[in-house]
Amino acid sequence: MAEPTFRYHPDPLASGSALRTNHVCSVCGMHRQIRYQGPIYGQQPDSLCLHCVHSGAASSALGIAGGGDEDFDMSAVFSDAVDVPDDVPLSVVEEITRRTPGFAGWQQESWLYHCGDGAAFLGPAGYRELEAPRGSSHAP
């Protein structure tokens, strides 16, 4: 079975959010070849596959359910939804937070948005990745 593709995180293997290794997913119980290893804000499984992240099954299964006087269900998420512009539809925010692999960064991770949509996470960028190539000039 082919691995799922993510519109907002096209290559979780290259970004370090997934690892190629044989495992059994704690959510679906299937033997898989790629394991998610990014952040999970919810219950922590022993092992998680990208199929369960993509389908939303992981978000539902790893969420927190309350009882007693406080009836609530809170789905697990893989990234925070902070400073989301008003023109970004809720469906986009839910896809990014509940059905897209998150990422770890050297500062607090925050998904970026622009033009009423989410940005695609292509990998971490530090000083060296952002430094202008030698010989190029740019105005301050």
* Residue 14 falls in which region: left (phi positive, over 0), alpha (psi -120 to 50) or beta: alpha
**pLDDT of amino acid 35:** 98
* Residue 85 falls in which region: left (phi positive, over 0), alpha (psi -120 to 50) or beta: beta
Which backbone phi and psi does 52 adopt, to 5 degrees? Answer: -70, -30
Joined tokens for residue 46 = 């022993």
**pLDDT of amino acid 137:** 54
Over range 30-49, report the average pLDDT. Answer: 96
Res 116 pLDDT > 90: yes
Over range 94-122, report the average pLDDT. Answer: 88
What are 55-94's pLDDT values in tens digits? 999 999 999 876 555 556 689 999 988 899 999 999 999 9
**pLDDT of amino acid 17:** 95
